[in-house]
Structure 1
Amino acid sequence: MKLYDSGVYLVNGKEIMTDATEVQQKTGKAVTKEQAAENTIAYGILKKHNTSGNMDKLQVRFDKLTSHDITFVGIIQTARASGLERFPMPYVLTNCHNSLCAVGGTINEDDHMFGLTCAKKYGGVYVPPHQAVIHQFAREMLAESGAMILGSDSHTRYGALGTMAVGEGGPELVKQLLNKTYDIDMPGVVGVYLTGTPQKGVGPQDVALAIIGEVFDKGYVKNKVMEFVGPGVSNLSVDFRIGVDVMTTETTCLSSIWRTDEKVQDFYAIHGRPQAYKELNPGDVAYYDGMIEIDLGQIKPMIAMPFHPSNTYTIEELNANLMDILDDCEKRAEVSFDGAVKLDLKSKVRNGKLYVDQGIIAGCAGGGFENICDAADILKGASIGPDEFTLSVYPASTPIYMELVKNGAVASLMETGAIVKTAFCGPCFGAGDTPANNAFSIRHSTRNFPNREGSKVQKGQVASVALMDARSIAATAANKGYLTAATDLDVNYTKPKYFFDKKIYENRVFDSKGVADPSVEIQFGPNIKDWPAMSALPEHMVLKVVSEIHDPVTTTDELIPSGETSSFRSNPLGLAEFALSRKDPLYVGRAKEIQKAEKAVEAGECPIEAVPELQAVIDTIKTVYPDFGEKARKEKGYAGFGSTIFAVKPGDGSAREQAASCQKVLGGWANIANEYATKRYRSNLINWGMLPFIIGKGDLPFENLDYLFIPEIRKAVENKQSEIQAYAVKDGALKPFSLHMDALTDDEREIILKGCLINYYRG
């Protein structure tokens, strides 16, 4: 795999050139980078969907929207509070996350009925539980070549089908529902040039993990579009392309797009939508801001060890250096869990081989037809054994499941001792198949962050996940739990043809065909609560640092856990009780304590009486701002009191807006970071009225539990200041330091000034 150090030209879709002179000699035409950049597939799609008239500053309207049942309640509630009357575009509500009846103390079916009645009232599509995971339904029923889809799940990726899809936090979907736009600067486009053909036994997860391992730490594609080109694309089945494509999220790219061909055309025809196909290719000379060159024939079976998809090795390399790599993983666990629990992976080594406790093939990444058929071929006639090792397989949709039943794959798998279950995303985020304490799971799913599999450090339980391709998981299962690469086995892959049965959806999915019925009453369960009132940005701000995180990267799973807490996502205050619970159990109590001061101000009461320790803070501020104390007590909107957290690089992973909204409803006014891991997390902060501050790397001018004073913050936002004057309140003095804030759009500034997106749309 080769990463180019600078931008490159792709000529006729086949030749990579780094010099414009060479391009001119080849084509006989002079071309600038700017001209050639307009010949990428991505540029053409973005131009078609841009409403601003300025390709440097995009204002995008998407063709379709999609959400699942731990995001659509909050999105629709926010949109309703902001004036929603009907869905202005196709909006699909799937039920693939909170599919279980009762988890975490709430009845999830209440959320489902909320979704069904909203689909009827506002003119949407409702997919009942166990019918399809969100992204498989989108592939089968929504994707179109040249279209754009916005989803409230970070793995919203349909580029292999020619659809540029973006995963964002819920407020960005709210904007689309209210006929607003998705506003971003024109993203960079990085080419992924594929050649060759994968080895027998190598699957899409192997290719994806190889890419992630190469680019993540370098930030090579961060917030850019990955565009897959080159002759190797046509050597991959569409299922294989989809399996690579969905994992591009783990590179931190913004979106992805692939060139399309007759195999994609066949996919649409099989699914009864031949009109959705359009051939997409880059122009004769296209310029990319970077290029990843991959010989698919050189990719070997891969494994991403705990605790990140970028912690990659070949399985061959892992087996050759087993104890050293396991020792490194245990040391990573000490950092991730702050020594609270001990992960022991080296005990998994038996007779020089790594024994795993569990295998999972599931969801939007692993649950595809081809993955499961190949796994069934590997396991045919084998036994997974009667020991600790278990294998669960989740087809990504009921149509896939039905075809696997018809062609015998399900029977082959179940005969081995494996369990085949319905379409459900639970194993991916800790709401199903949670391993035993200290167990080690191998999964063809999307993420292996700390505790994402559902273990609970706060209760002394720890487990870990490694990501692998379905084929090597099946090979490991055939070897009764001992880690085995699929290339080590000689297998006859039957590659059965796929037949799609559209009647399954016709008989069960509610589709309004875009017709709203205002007479429908929305069905609310007792768990569904409105968003609490949120204050506008004050003139001056007093913040208490209530958590300080120095991990290299902080995931959204650590900011707000997934798993059983997901059932509280329709209850903003209930969910907030779990914020940072696996990373900093003291966070919630500290945030709520300082929030008492803000609540006192809103009630016209004295903040010092609510939080007595503020007396010393205000006295110190008065040494420089003598009027502050009196005005802070009497003038509403003059001073805001709340909390902030520091993290080195927060926001990797999920698009879940609750990573920000939970901080907001607990009185959070800002995050302070060296950088933000993803654009979507920063957007979530902004949409919930929180300031996305950046501070330079090095020694911090404050520490946990310190107070910060940020004078004239409202004026700074209004005046578009990038440098913000701040003070640490320490030892009876104000100690100055600078915060930075990257550029905000006019709308983003107004959202922050109003206090949140809901306030912004209420006017």
Structure 2
Amino acid sequence: MVKLYNQGVYLLNGSEIVPDGADAVREIEGKVGHAVSKEEAAKETIAYRILKEHNTSPDMEHLRIKFDKLTSHDITFVGIIQTARASGLERFPIPYVLTNCHNSLCAVGGTINEDDHMFGLTCAKKYGGVYVPPHQAVIHQYAREMLAGGGKMILGSDSHTRYGALGTMAIGEGGPELVKQLLNKTYDIRMPEVIAVYLDGQPSIGVGPQDVALAIIKATFANGYVNNKVMEFVGPGVEKLSADFRIGIDVMTTETTCLSSIWKTDAVIEEFFEIHGRKADFEKLSPGETAYYDGMVYVDLGKVEPMIAMPFHPSNAYTIRELNQNLSEILHDVEQKALVSLGKDVNFTLQDKVRNGKLYVEQGIIAGCAGGGFENICAASEILSGCGIGADEFTLSVYPASTPIYMELVKNGAVAKLMEAGAVVKTAFCGPCFGAGDTPADGALSIRHSTRNFPNREGSKLQSGQIASVALMDARSIAATAANKGYLTSAADVMDREYQMPKYHFDSNIYANRVFDSKGIADQSAKIKLGPNIKDWPEMPPLPEHLLLKVVSEIHDPVTTTDELIPSGETSSYRSNPLGLAEFALSRKDPAYVGRAKEVQKAQKAIEQGQCPLEVLEELKDVMEVVRRRYPQAGEGTLGIGSTIFAVKPGDGSAREQAASCQKVLGGWANIAEEYATKRYRSNLINWGMLPLLTDEKEEQLAFHNGDYIFFPDILEKIKQKENKITAYIVKDDLVEVTFRLGEMTENEREIIQKGCLINYYRDQNR
């Protein structure tokens, strides 16, 4: 069903595959009638052409990208705008859309969430932006309907910023990267590799976009095949897919850890833009006559079956048929894997879900940017037509991705069919995707057409002894399971034909009557509303000459998600309060982390107040005695003291900058890792002035451990001199040498590290 090529490939006329090899150039010349070099063919990808159009640097190896548009939601835009304001923001230089789809319910924390919304509205007025009120649309659906355009680039502060199916290269990043765009700076990266995703054939009956997406994620995540690369969807299978189907696959490319995605476009996508009243934004995109790709993911759509991603990662995927045939074995395997992430703090089991040889689930959710599309919900309503979900534990909730979609589902009768079956149809809201809505009961299993199923992602709290779990499925199979009253069922087992999708009609009046659009005109007289929970970033010191860091957390999971670094769900109300949010850092993975970090931070605060750090942190006396034997100059006025964490591979998942900034406001100066799961997490560390250190020592051979101090002599000078290899010392009875790497860093990134954070960097530039 999915095949990965172990070498680069040439694609001729968008359809014929020629693997790279000794005879490839000669073979291609025979087919196209002229010689083509690999270098020239690499310029014929869709991705290369779009990146070239947006690159402001003099070469295509080191890109400096300026985006066409920006988008954020209500747990990211406050921090972004506050950072930009502190750095000299005067107006939004490009269209910036502030959607409100995460803290929509305003149900927890008093006035906190609605205060954030009012902050967003008043900032849209003052700086010239667009404000989308709660319940109107989830961030990515609004972007598809109103922002995307052929050949354009969009940067969003949400990891699922993916509009490639519509011909838009979109990238999800941490907030500081949007700040750079707001300050007329650039997004600086090396030219990424481009991987072709060749779609062939057409999906079988009962197979939906989530099924195809999970098959691709399963094949590419663990081996890093597309990590930080661009996925370019080509091949004859593309034209067999509707716009909604393509969008449903595209949004899930984030879970492969790719940088971005782009698709060839055709009449189907042209019709999408025409339906949304934006036909002029369509552009036909296709690779050139001979295009070279750094690899290829070949997908035979006809062989993809209905899939299920078991807890606790989208890549832990099986066909539903395979799961049902091997229930005991697969459930046991999931339980064993869970021990890595959950430990023995809770009794996690799935074996008790087996009833009469079938897997029973307690909840179904079809929601958000992945599941809430028009066609997904129409298909689910048809499967459930005339059925009932039953009066037992199983529940079903459906969240259309936007109010225009909701209205059309009401008009064509889909909502009536769902409600009659027993489903609850709710407003556009991202809550179920990140743990702020429809949290299942303790021990329950939820099946969801949403984006992620990380531990506790559904809202349970491990630290409170609660544990529930999520499996990802397509809306069609969720509906089939609902029709079977909660017993896991593949849509292929209940569908004998593809349902004829009703025509979609987009009503733009919904947004025209409710969305605030400044049309890019800033009103400097507008007063920004600041609720009492909206706090400025605390002052952050520049990088000192020498650093002394204490390891305050040691995480040995194969991958650490941003959900584990800073939880989603209940923490979202504090995203506008840096110090308040920091109290939740690593709370699901290492609850003692915050206390340890704060204890070390006392020493740095003493330094900043002109006091002796040894007087507030007794253990430093012995540590500094060892350090000063060899480095007597490491002392008053030259030394910084803080904390660091070790994780094998941190940063998978969300783009949320708070996974890094929370560590920073608690006195963190670095992360140490074998590798970083995503570019965006590493970027967040740098933008918050933290060293993204790499170790070549494997976890079982680490020379340092939780509680150890590591001394970094002359670290400021090493950053200035662009050194990659960093020699440091573990402080024992003597100094034990250890070596770290920084990896490739741009000149700007090194300057940000020196200044202490992005805010300081831009503040100093504007003085």
The TM-score with structure 2 as length reference comes to 0.98
Name structure 1 gaps, 5 residues minimum: none
* CA deviations over 1:243-288 (Å, ceiling 9, x no partner): 0000000000000000000000000000000100010000000000
Match among 261, 286, 299 for residue 304 of structure 2: 299
Structure 2 equivalent of residue 52 of structure 1: 57
* Displaced runs of 4 or more, over 3 A: none
Identity of aligned residues (%): 73
Secondary structure at the aligned position of 1:9 is classed as: strand
Name structure 2 gaps, 5 residues minimum: none
Structure 2 equivalent of residue 24 of structure 1: 29
Structure 2 equivalent of residue 658 of structure 1: 658
Distance 2:151 2:344 in 1: 49
Structure 1 equivalent of residue 723 of structure 2: 721
Structure 1 equivalent of residue 703 of structure 2: 701
In structure 2, the CA distance between the partners of 1:555 and 1:567, relative to structure 1 (3 Å rule), is same
Query: Shift in Å at residue 342 of structure 1?
Result: 1.4
Q: Mean alpha-carbon deviation: is it higher for 335-344 or for 599-608?
A: 335-344
Matched, 1:511 2:517: yes
Matched, 1:286 2:291: yes
Matched, 1:340 2:336: no
Query: Shift in Å at residue 332 of structure 1?
Result: 1.6
1:119-198 matches, within 5 Å, as 119-198=124-203
Query: Shift in Å at residue 373 of structure 1?
Result: 0.1
Query: Shift in Å at residue 21 of structure 1?
Result: 1.7
* CA deviations over 1:402-424 (Å, ceiling 9, x no partner): 00000000000000110000000
Distance 1:190 1:494 in 2: 33
Task: Provide the aligned length of Structure 1 versus Structure 2.
Answer: 756
Query: Shift in Å at residue 104 of structure 1?
Result: 4.5
Letter in 1 for 2:234: V
Q: Mean alpha-carbon deviation: is it higher for 523-532 or for 94-103?
A: 94-103
* CA deviations over 1:369-423 (Å, ceiling 9, x no partner): 0000000000000000001100000000000000000000000000011000000
Query: Shift in Å at residue 625 of structure 1?
Result: 1.3
Letter in 2 for 1:48: E
Distance 2:101 2:399 in 1: 12
Matched, 1:560 2:561: no
Match among 542, 545, 549 for residue 548 of structure 2: 542
Distance 1:753 1:194 in 2: 46
* CA deviations over 1:97-141 (Å, ceiling 9, x no partner): 010113245520000000000000000000000000000000000
Secondary structure at the aligned position of 1:402 is classed as: helix
Matched, 1:587 2:588: no
Query: Shift in Å at residue 335 of structure 1?
Result: 1.4
Matched, 1:409 2:411: no
Structure 2 equivalent of residue 598 of structure 1: 604
Query: Shift in Å at residue 31 of structure 1?
Result: 1.1
Letter in 1 for 2:202: T
Structure 2 equivalent of residue 421 of structure 1: 426
Structure 2 equivalent of residue 735 of structure 1: 736
Structure 2 equivalent of residue 686 of structure 1: 686
Cα root mean square deviation, aligned: 0.7
* CA deviations over 1:419-468 (Å, ceiling 9, x no partner): 00000000000000011101000000000000111100100000100000
Distance 2:73 2:633 in 1: 50
Query: Shift in Å at residue 626 of structure 1?
Result: 2.6
Distance 1:7 1:604 in 2: 59
1:305-384 matches, within 5 Å, as 305-384=310-389
Query: Shift in Å at residue 66 of structure 1?
Result: 0.1
Distance 1:256 1:379 in 2: 33
Distance 1:535 1:550 in 2: 30
Letter in 2 for 1:172: E
Q: Mean alpha-carbon deviation: is it higher for 644-653 or for 319-328?
A: 319-328
Distance 1:39 1:344 in 2: 51
Q: Mean alpha-carbon deviation: is it higher for 638-647 or for 329-338?
A: 329-338
1:59-70 matches, within 5 Å, as 59-70=64-75
Letter in 1 for 2:679: K
Query: Shift in Å at residue 624 of structure 1?
Result: 1.2
Structure 2 equivalent of residue 455 of structure 1: 460
Letter in 2 for 1:271: H
Query: Shift in Å at residue 658 of structure 1?
Result: 0.1
* CA deviations over 1:210-246 (Å, ceiling 9, x no partner): 0000000110000000000011000000000000000
Distance 2:496 2:331 in 1: 30
Letter in 1 for 2:494: L
Q: Mean alpha-carbon deviation: is it higher for 326-335 or for 514-523?
A: 326-335
Distance 2:35 2:109 in 1: 63
- 8 Å CA contact 1:334, 1:342 repeated in 2: no
Structure 1 equivalent of residue 745 of structure 2: 744
Query: Shift in Å at residue 610 of structure 1?
Result: 1.1
Distance 1:388 1:707 in 2: 52
Distance 1:300 1:130 in 2: 34
Distance 1:298 1:627 in 2: 67
Letter in 1 for 2:715: I
- 8 Å CA contact 1:380, 1:416 repeated in 2: yes
Distance 1:185 1:107 in 2: 40
The TM-score with structure 1 as length reference comes to 0.99
Structure 2 equivalent of residue 203 of structure 1: 208
Secondary structure at the aligned position of 1:450 is classed as: coil
Match among 23, 35, 44 for residue 40 of structure 2: 35
Distance 2:658 2:52 in 1: 31
Distance 1:388 1:401 in 2: 26
Distance 1:341 1:2 in 2: 38
Distance 1:491 1:684 in 2: 49
* CA deviations over 1:181-226 (Å, ceiling 9, x no partner): 0000000000001110100110000000000000001100000000
Secondary structure at the aligned position of 1:102 is classed as: coil
Distance 2:481 2:324 in 1: 13
- 8 Å CA contact 1:104, 1:564 repeated in 2: no
Letter in 1 for 2:672: I
- 8 Å CA contact 1:106, 1:568 repeated in 2: no
1:94-109 matches, within 5 Å, as 94-104=99-109, 107-109=112-114
Query: Shift in Å at residue 627 of structure 1?
Result: 3.4
Structure 1 equivalent of residue 487 of structure 2: 482
Secondary structure at the aligned position of 1:217 is classed as: coil
1:482-501 matches, within 5 Å, as 482-491=487-496, 493-501=499-507
Distance 1:627 1:756 in 2: 25
Structure 1 equivalent of residue 557 of structure 2: 551
Distance 2:552 2:454 in 1: 23
Secondary structure at the aligned position of 1:735 is classed as: strand
- 8 Å CA contact 1:86, 1:122 repeated in 2: yes
Letter in 2 for 1:659: A
Letter in 2 for 1:738: T
* CA deviations over 1:69-112 (Å, ceiling 9, x no partner): 00000000000000000000000000000101132455200000
